[in-house]
Chains A and B, each alone.
Chain A
Amino acid sequence: MSLSPDSPIADEKQRLQALILGVWLFLITLAMVFATTIVGYVVVRLQLVSANEWKPEGAPGLPWELFVSTLLLLASSGSTHAARSAVCRGASGRKAGGWMALTCALAAGFLFFQALAWSDLIRQELTFGDSLYAWLFFVLTGLHALHVLCGLPPLGIVTGRAFRGAYGPEPTSHAGLTFFAMYWHFLDAVWLVLYLVLLWGSRPG
């Protein structure tokens, strides 16, 4: 399959470079989205802490599930990288597919523990509409989870193609895997920042 057949750029290598630059710019756009929400979180927290109204009486802190999900997402980033290195070395489709299957499992695990964290908090009666403490937690984790969910269809496609041995060692022959890996590492990095911010925010003052 040729890379981006509509492109007016004749040379495949240059076409790939153009696509990679495009993905970078798109990730910068998404980074601005997350940066805005994080700035909002920090500003509102600082203001509410100084008014002593940040964390409501008896509200739960950061649920333990988030620590597990953080480890899972980190691991999934690692397995994606392993799949890509395997492809670059020219390893068999089974090997790269195996790593990508592991990524699928880890991604599912991440979302499972995020959902568990949400239900845990709701069971402890921290509801969306009660305080900005809760509102911000749900909006920020929800926004990130939404982006992970959007990554699942490409993840499925890339995994299937890896198993079929569709990716070769040449950079132009595994472009799809490269783009997915860029997106996935990005979500991983965003989550790490978000986790630290939430950890800081879960303290009452």
Chain B
Amino acid sequence: MNHSSRPSRRSRLRAVGLTCSVFALVLSAGCAADSSGNDGGKTVIRFNWWGSDVRHEQTKQMIALFEKEHQNISVQVEYSNWDDYWKKLSTGAAAGDMPDVLQITDPFMYSYIDNGQLMDLKKVKDVLNTDKLPPNSMSMTTVKGGLYGVPAGDSAFGVAVDPAAFKKAGVPIPDDTKWSWDDYVKTATAIAKSKSKLVGSVMPLYPNMVGPWLRQHGEDYWTEDGSEIGFTEKTMTGYWEWVVKLRDSGGTTSPEAAVEALASGAGIEQNLVAQHKAAMTEMSVTQLGALEAASGRETKLLLFPGEDGAAQVGAYTKPGVFYGASARTEHPKEAAQLLDFLVNSPEAGKIGKFDRGVPVNPDVLKAITPELSPAEKRIADYLRRANALKPTAVHLPNAEAGPAVPEIFQRLNEDVLFDRLSPKAAAKKFISEIKSQL
């Protein structure tokens, strides 16, 4: 036995063989991951969405029902939170690997529509019935005559107030048909100065109040066709002057605490109103159920201040979430069947309720109305009141620059809150930064 310390030729060959087979395995696993196609005679389609745990559970139930109704289709689901969703989708799109059916929203969806990543749903109109969907609910996804998404549900922004906190502070809840932006600051201050030791209002960091503000001044983010910026430096300066006034009033959380809450990705459960520490917060009204579940209190929804005597109604309702399909799907018919089920099936509506907004299909809404919780009834009531003001339609955002607006706003808003920029300088920069994205 010479060379006993060295591997024999045979064992060396075996090692080489092993290495190669490991490689082959890795490579084939890579290919196996691409699995849209057939699965035991069934057509497999992929469906992606973002959302909370509640939504994940509900949607999986809806899918189970869909698969029961369509024995020939198997739906592969993938879900994540908001941030990861878009990063994953953009890289997926770059690799030509978009899910067949997906949840989308403005303004981010416009990049996808503009670049031809989404299917024109008019092509599958024999399968996807849009007769019951009000035309105005589809105006946002109608681009150059094509339809690129169907609305999952209507939503709006508003002010949530905790009546128990107001009572504790001895401050009356303002009349939201008459209150002004100054009243908002005064109310917040009054609560903070009362013996209740409560925070008057959560510091607004998202641009949710900006849209209504601009509209009340007869402007909008964008011109009607979305080609140009639709607001003036003066109006934007006014908004940030109001923010500074609110900050200096002492009626809100400190900018630091607000920034911290935002950075930790806090959900509505961590909102100070949910924790009985604050009396008012702006929010997307469909989150009311989650807010009440966390706070254990009945919460009221108010219209934004300043509607009385405004140049234009600031409030608006619009679908907050849409469903779309990939332009490159190999199964357009099955994808359309799923879309049709999601927006038109009363049974699906009963599972999802208002989680993605108030269903726009009247039949679905009617079917689920008897099963609504008190919070959901208040959401529906709020949307009715907002719509009763007869708001004009929101202008479509610019496909190039629109998606960057929330991020630019948030950054400049922090500059204002920490006194690094004056409201006027911030407004000027806001406009120039958006312009540089056009």
Decide whether A and B are members of one complex: no
Chain B interface residues toward A at CB < 8 A: none
Chain A interface residues toward B at CB < 8 A: none
